[in-house]
Amino acid sequence: MVKAVLGFSKKTKEEKIQWLADTYLANDATAVSTLSQYWNSNPKLQKLHDDFIENTITNYYLPFGIAPNFLINDQLYTLPMVIEESSVVAAASNAAKFWLDKGGFKAEVISTIKNGQVHINYFGTSALILNFFSEVKALLIASISSIEENMKKRGGGLLEISLVNSSEKLEGYYQLHCTFETKDAMGANFINTCLEEIAKTFENLAKEHQAFKDSSSFPEIALSILSNYVPECLVRAKVECPVSQLSTSEIEGQLFADKFLRAIDIAKTEPRRAVTHNKGIMNGIDALVLATGNDFRAVEAGVHAYASKEGHYSSLTHATIEDGIFTFWIEIPLALGTVGGLTSLHPLVKFALSILQKPSAAQLMQIVAVAGLAQNFAAIRSLVTTGIQKGHMKMHLMNILNQMDANPSEKEKTVEHFKSHTITHSAVVDFVDQLR
């Protein structure tokens, strides 16, 4: 039986690995050596990676790819993408190429407001806490003046505080809803620091307020935290062209457009389809968010919440055909940063931002939205023409061959064979077995 380990965080990396080997790996030397194979040969760079999180034992590698030929607002971009899934980079590149001679992608930032809340328990008279808030609002704002000094110099800071009575949803529940502008920073640490100071000031002032002393109920802080749901931090990206320009050797333009719109309508109607539909969008978004050192979990949470804003989970993309013009667009919330966090620490994040020509946070929002739109276009295009598996399995073929430790000759012969045969895992295994 495995026993709990005490003081694990104080052990050296070597001691942590040895504990793992002794406890779970039966001292498997091969498993242990695998960890060191992924260490960086540059000790300084390895130490940098070790310090990103706690209890680091090695690095976990993901492929860093690029998707070229993205024409966005008449400027050509190459997108850095970090992802493990086959065909994502290829699909993005194909979508970029498809729209390159049709005007490319257009994108615009609608708003950049972020938010957080101080959540309050208060079971007294609502008028009492509302009057108290009106009295102390200016003091709450003043309490964070030193915290937001540098942010204000960059044009950001606290925008507004309001007291929200949510006691109809949950008994005794109020919140201080705070909105912020954080410019090129994602701003999570800044927002949380502000909120905690506002909460402390609010509670201290409430303790000294005579009205609460005379009341049977006193406001107490439950928690203070930013929100990853940022529906006021919006970006829109779109493509459009005459329907006739959608024609390819595979399908006539009008038929393609009709099938495409039907696929979007299905994703708007059926949540089971919408989840997979939006997951494909996030393939492109997450890959770019991860490459630029941003928080893809926060982005995922906020985007999927936005997909449910009408009361049911639905498509994040939309399409129309009007007067012979096909238009396809996406509107999503994205809280991103190009300064702070890993953006100034991780060498590959710096590299990714350089590839993107060192964008501002607003420019990065536009590029990321385009990546999601391109990914969705590529997926739906496959679904309504050849089917999703033809392209996906072609890319997956090399993964299967690597799993089988195929040599270069076997790979070459297998790739050639499956140019004219359906790719399945069992079919590839059988073919390679026959070669051997």
Report DSSP letters for 374-435, one per residue: HHHHHHHHHHTTT-HHHHHHHHHHHHHHHHTT--HHHHHHHHHHTTSS---HHHHHHHHHHH
Tell me which residue has tokens 């030193």: 146
In a domain? residue 168: yes
Token pair for residue 186?
Answer: 């994602």
The structural domain count of the chain equals 4
- DSSP assigned state of 107: E
Q: How confident is the model at residue 214 (pLDDT cuts 50, 70, 90)?
A: confident
* CA dist., res. 115 & res. 195, Å (int): 10
The whole-number pLDDT of residue 86 equals 86
What is the SS3 string spanning 213-251?
A: HCCCCCCEEEEEEECCCCCCCEEEEEEEEEHHHHCCCCC
- 192, 215, 233, 306 from 118: Cα distances, Å: 10, 22, 20, 22
Do residues 153 and 192 share a domain?
Answer: yes
The whole-number pLDDT of residue 27 equals 82
* CA dist., res. 317 & res. 268, Å (int): 9
The whole-number pLDDT of residue 1 equals 81
What CATH number is attached to the domain comprising 78?
Answer: 3.90.770.10
- Mean pLDDT, rounded, for 87-114: 97
How confident is the model over 161-185, as pLDDT tens digits? 999 999 999 999 999 999 999 999 9
Q: How confident is the model at residue 344 (pLDDT cuts 50, 70, 90)?
A: confident
Tell me which residue has tokens 């667009």: 329
- DSSP assigned state of 105: B
What CATH number is attached to the domain comprising 162?
Answer: 3.30.70.420
Let me know: does 377 contact 95? Beta carbons within 8 Å.
Answer: yes
* Residue from 330, 336, 337 nearest 372 by CA: 330
Token pair for residue 288?
Answer: 């770019």
Catalytic residue among 85, 203, 270, 331: 85
The answer, yes or no, to whether residue 60 has pLDDT greater than 90, is yes
**Which domain, by its residues, includes 15?**
8-50
Let me know: does 202 contact 162? Beta carbons within 8 Å.
Answer: no
Do residues 260 and 293 share a domain?
Answer: yes
Mean pLDDT, the chain, rounded, equals 94
Between 388 and 49, the higher pLDDT residue:
49
Do residues 206 and 332 share a domain?
Answer: no
- Mean pLDDT, rounded, for 400-417: 89
Helices 388-403 and 88-100, packing angle to 10 deg: 140
The whole-number pLDDT of residue 388 equals 62
The answer, yes or no, to whether residue 390 has pLDDT greater than 70, is no
Do residues 270 and 406 share a domain?
Answer: no
Burial 240-261 (b: 16+ CB within 10 A, else e): bbebebbeeeebebeebbeebb
Catalytic residue among 238, 295, 346, 396: 295
In a domain? residue 150: yes
Do residues 215 and 241 share a domain?
Answer: no
In a domain? residue 56: no
Q: Give catalytic status of residue 279 as yes or no.
A: yes
* CA dist., res. 221 & res. 175, Å (int): 9
The answer, yes or no, to whether residue 394 has pLDDT greater than 80, is no
Q: How confident is the model at residue 260 (pLDDT cuts 50, 70, 90)?
A: very high
Residue 78, Cβ density class (10 Å: 0-12 exposed, 13-18 middle, ≥19 buried): middle
Let me know: does 374 contact 70? Beta carbons within 8 Å.
Answer: yes
* Residue from 187, 221, 217 nearest 204 by CA: 221
* CA dist., res. 374 & res. 329, Å (int): 10
Do residues 291 and 365 share a domain?
Answer: yes
In a domain? residue 27: yes
**% of the chain surpassing 70 pLDDT:** 98
CA atoms within 13 A on the CB side of 109: 17
The whole-number pLDDT of residue 29 equals 87
The whole-number pLDDT of residue 211 equals 87
Between 402 and 338, the higher pLDDT residue:
338
Between 112 and 29, the higher pLDDT residue:
112
Do residues 122 and 255 share a domain?
Answer: no
Q: Give catalytic status of residue 396 as yes or no.
A: no
- Mean pLDDT, rounded, for 77-102: 96
Q: Which stretches of 231-326 are DSSP H helices?
A: 253-269, 271-291, 296-306
Do residues 244 and 96 share a domain?
Answer: yes
Q: Give catalytic status of residue 405 as yes or no.
A: no
* CA dist., res. 142 & res. 23, Å (int): 54
Catalytic residue among 209, 268, 277, 392: 392
- Domain boundary (203, 226, 249) is at 226
In a domain? residue 245: yes
In a domain? residue 57: no
In a domain? residue 39: yes
Between 395 and 103, the higher pLDDT residue:
103
Do residues 220 and 266 share a domain?
Answer: no
The answer, yes or no, to whether residue 216 has pLDDT greater than 90, is no
- Total count of residues recorded for the chain: 436
CA atoms within 13 A on the CB side of 9: 3
In a domain? residue 298: yes
Amino acid at the residue 359: P
**C-alpha triplet 393, 397, 399: angle, nearest 5°:** 115
* CA dist., res. 7 & res. 17, Å (int): 14
The whole-number pLDDT of residue 391 equals 60
- Domain boundary (226, 251, 281) is at 226
Do residues 180 and 123 share a domain?
Answer: yes
Catalytic residue among 97, 102, 177, 279: 279
Do residues 192 and 312 share a domain?
Answer: no
The whole-number pLDDT of residue 397 equals 84
Q: Give catalytic status of residue 392 as yes or no.
A: yes
Do residues 381 and 428 share a domain?
Answer: no
- Domain boundary (226, 243, 262) is at 226
How confident is the model over 292-335, as pLDDT tens digits? 999 999 999 999 999 999 999 999 999 999 999 999 999 999 99
Q: Of 209-218, 284-293, 315-324, 350-359, where does mean pLDDT reach its minimum?
A: 209-218
- Give me the long-range contacts of 406-413 (CB less than 8 A, separation at least 24): 406/432, 410/435, 410/436
